[in-house]
């Protein structure tokens, strides 16, 4: 497992995180994602973390950074599928996920991104 696949759906990109992130995988993901945002002219990025039982400060920071990079490239990031326990941990860790919207699932995330692009 050397990279996380990025799936394209129209002008949106979908990333499903299923494995524990380590430094190198996170950097490869950020590289791949920024490249794909430009190449596919994506307007939004959905990051699905429904498979994660735990989100530590490393992953939290990685998601924040990825969202910040996407924003500079004019794409919004929505984090979807967060488990209740993860939400509790994030607040307890004091990770506010600046600049990242959240949605219950992929469908709602897609709607959120579509609404946002209509407002532009």
Which residues contribute to the site for its own copies (CB under 8 A)? 1, 3-5, 7-10, 14, 16, 18-19, 48, 50-51, 81, 105-107, 110
Smallest gap from Cβ 80 to its own copies, in A, equals 8
Nearer to its own copies, 18 or 96 (CB): 18
User: Quick one: 29 or 70, whose CB is closer to its own copies?
Assistant: 29
Q: Smallest distance, Å, CB 48 to its own copies? A: 6
Query: Distance between CA atoms of 107 and 114, rounded to whole angstroms?
Result: 11
Exposure letters 59-75 (e unless 16+ CB within 10 A, then b): bbebbbebbebbeebeb
- For its own copies, which is the closer residue by CB, 19 or 88? 19
- By beta-carbon proximity to its own copies, the closer residue of 96 and 117 is 117
Q: How far apart are CA 18 and CA 47, in angstroms?
A: 11
CA–CA–CA angle 90, 91, 96 (5° rounding):
80
């Amino acid at each position: 497992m050397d990279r996380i696949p990025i799936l394209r759906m129209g002008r949106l990109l979908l990333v499903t995180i299923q494995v524990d992130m380590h430094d190198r995988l996170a950097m490869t993901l950020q590289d791949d994602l920024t490249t794909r945002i430009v190449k596919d002219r994506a307007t939004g990025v959905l990051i699905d973390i429904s498979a994660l039982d735990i989100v530590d400060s490393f992953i939290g920071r990685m998601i924040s950074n990825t969202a910040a990079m996407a924003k500079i490239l004019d794409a919004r990031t929505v984090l979807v599928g967060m488990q209740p326990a993860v939400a509790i941990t994030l607040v307890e860790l004091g990770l506010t996920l600046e600049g990242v919207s959240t949605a219950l699932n992929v469908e709602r995330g897609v709607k959120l991104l579509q609404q946002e692009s209509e407002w532009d």
